[in-house]
Every structure is written in C-alpha cells, then in structure tokens.
Amino acid sequence: MIRKKRPAVIKDVAALAGVSVATVSRYLNDSPHMSDETRQRIAEAITLLDYRPSHIARGLATSKVQSITVLSSETTLFGSAYTIQGIEVAAQRQGYVINISKLNTQWSDECKSTVDMALDQHPSGIIILQYDATAIESIHYIPDDLPCVLIGGRPDGKHAHISFDEYHAGFAMTEYLLSTGVTTVHHVSVPGKGGGDDRTKGWEAALRQHGAVIYEPTTAVWSPEKARELGRDYAHDSTVEAIFAGNDEIAMGIISGLMDEGRRVPEDVRVAGFDDNPLSSIWRPAITTYHQYFTQGGEDAVTMLIKQINASQSANAAEAVAMATQPESLCIKGDLLIRESA
C-alpha cells in the first residue's frame, strides 16, 4: 500500500533552511528584521517542500486574523439581520471572514464571558450592534487598542459610531401623525436601551412642541402576538386616536388586535410602525413606517473598521492616535413612508 506523503509543516521548513521555527514565522509575517541570505534560504525551502502556511495559524500567532467579530443580542430580528447582511457583504469584498457572537440578554453575567470567547479568536476588529442594554454593556469589555465600531444607539466618545438618526425619525413620525388631525399620539416602544430610546424621546419632543397630551409610553416585547393583545386593549381606550409603534412587527400586532375588536385602521385609529420591514408594504392596510438603511449601516461600519485596522498596522502612529482620540462618526438618515395605515 502506498502511503500518501504528509504535507510539510513549519518545522520542516526551518530544518531545511537551517533556522529556527520563530525565524520562519517572522519571514511569513514579513518581518523587516532579517538578512537577505536568511530570507532566500527560507524561500527556497518553502518552494522545495511545497509548503502552504495555514492562514488561521499565522493569524493566531500574530493576533491579526483577517476576521471581524460581530457582537449582537439578536440576529433574527429585521434590523439586526439586515445590518449583519451589510457587514457580511462588505467584509467578504475586503477579504475578511465574519464571526457572529450572540450576547445573552437574560443572563447579564454571561456578557463578559461571551466577549472573552470572541476575543480569544483574535479578530482584527469588533462591530457591536448597540441595539439594547446587553450590547451596550459588552463595550466595556473591549480592549482599548482593538479596532471597534458601534452601530445604533448613542456614541460613547471612545469608539467609531454609526447612527440612524432615530431621535429625528421619531420626531418626524409623530409630527406626521399629528398633521393628520389627531389630538395626540400614543407610543409603544421597543425593549432595550438602544435606538428605541431615541425614537421615544423624539416622539415626546414632538408632542411637547405641539402642546399635545403625553400618555405614558408602553414597552412591548419582541412579539407580534403580545402586541396584538395590546391592540385589543387599545380598542377600548377612547383616548387612542393614533399609535406610533416602535417597529413594524409591533404595528402589525396592534393592527390585528384593533381589528379583532371591530376598530378600523385608519378610519378609527391611525397606526404607524418603524424600520420598513419588507412585510409592512403588503400588510393590510399597508403600514406607514420609517425606512432605515440597516444594510448600508453594516457596510459603512466595515469601511470604518478597516480604516482603523490599517492605521493600527501602519507605521503612521499619528494616524492611529488621531483615530483613537477623535473617533469617526456617521449619521445615516432614513425616509418617512406614508401608506394606508395612517
């Protein structure tokens, strides 16, 4: 029986070239501290042995794996899924692998261990979907010298940040609803401490500016069925003329609940959502919403992150310091989409 020849390993290269394994490793990582003669011997040994270095092994040895880790509490919700899609497209275009680490929203003490496991993979940089309190907590466990970009929520002054301008979006949605002739707008906010907080603040500011009655907002869970129950309750509240839901799935549930109880949308109650979920345009009635460019946000985050990675690896220390002291910030504005529900 003919045995298949095993692939050459780095020790074989070192032995043939007459150098140490560490010297071969420095050669593979383009170290400038090496004589031309040593470099030539190693190159010849690699050719003779048909040695193929492991990309992952090289990355682990230098802590510069060509990978980006995404930290997110949710990966299936519309906003998170579309943001991650943008990250993946842009990262692949630049030759980076994406790793996704899901943060546990129920057990906050596991947040640090999840981040630690992600860091053990030696990513080139981190992108955090700052859409809730758990994701915000995870920022504290990121090393200061690791390239990092935050998407959503508010900037922390230390990291590059992408905003979806949710305060002004919430303000614009509420102003539109008031312009339809209703006297006030009830609000159902999304859970967490991310951008949803800014939507709520925008809603409140618009009502104050117009001198409208401000009822305590209701916080929904990530469940259209629970929102449907809420809609049934709203159907029997005479103060409810219009509802601004924190996202389109919640709006869908509320509309179903109102209709269960015989209320018409928009004739009796106007309902608006947020995010522009693909189902919102074919729902009946089609949902007035605010389109957010999640995919673009993901792509722009990768561009920001790679700038940091390149700066940290370059000889231009001033550039790296400038990025650390003046983190880049980008605001991506959305669009109000007026449809049948309001």
CATH number at residue 141: 3.40.50.2300
Residues 218, 187: contact at Cβ < 8 Å? yes
**182/277 same-domain check:** yes
Q: Which domain holds residue 142?
A: 67-164+294-334
pLDDT digits (tens, 9 = 90+) for 104-142: 866 666 888 888 888 888 899 999 999 888 898 899 889
Other beta carbons less than 10 A from residue 275's beta carbon: 25
The reply to whether 285 falls in a domain is yes
Task: Report which residue type is found at 316.
Answer: N
Residues 6 or more apart whose Cβ sits within 8 Å of residue 50:
8
User: Average pLDDT of the chain?
Assistant: 88
Residue 168 has pLDDT above 80, yes or no: yes
**196/255 same-domain check:** yes
pLDDT-derived band at 1 (thresholds 50, 70, 90) equals very low
CATH of the domain at 47: 1.10.260.40
Q: Looking at residues 73-78, what average pLDDT do you find? A: 88
Taking the C-alpha atoms of residue 255 and residue 209, their distance in angstroms, rounded to an integer, is 27
Taking the C-alpha atoms of residue 333 and residue 169, their distance in angstroms, rounded to an integer, is 8
Predicted pLDDT of residue 159: 95
Within its chain, how far is the Cα of 254 from the centroid? 27
pLDDT: is 170 or 194 the higher one? 170
Rounded (5°) CA angle 67-69-71? 175
Percent of the chain, pLDDT > 90? 63
Q: Looking at residues 133-156, what average pLDDT do you find? A: 90
**128/178 same-domain check:** no
Predicted pLDDT of residue 5: 58
Residue 322 has pLDDT above 60, yes or no: no
Two tokens, residue 284: 């009946």
Number of structural domains found in the chain? 3
Residue 85 has pLDDT above 70, yes or no: yes
Predicted pLDDT of residue 2: 45
Two tokens, residue 290: 């605010």
Residue 55 has pLDDT above 50, yes or no: no
The reply to whether 340 falls in a domain is no
**153/266 same-domain check:** no
Other beta carbons less than 10 A from residue 35's beta carbon: 8
Predicted pLDDT of residue 117: 87
Alpha helix (H) residue ranges in the chain: 10-17, 21-28, 36-49, 55-62, 78-93, 111-119, 133-138, 166-179, 195-209, 224-234, 248-260, 294-313, 317-325
Total-model pTM = 0.77
Residue 217 has pLDDT above 70, yes or no: yes
Q: Which range among 27-36, 53-62, 147-156 has the greatest average pLDDT?
A: 147-156
**71/177 same-domain check:** no
Torsion of CA 132, 137, 142, 145, to 10 degrees: 90
Two tokens, residue 64: 């510069």
**218/286 same-domain check:** yes
Predicted pLDDT of residue 333: 96
**194/272 same-domain check:** yes
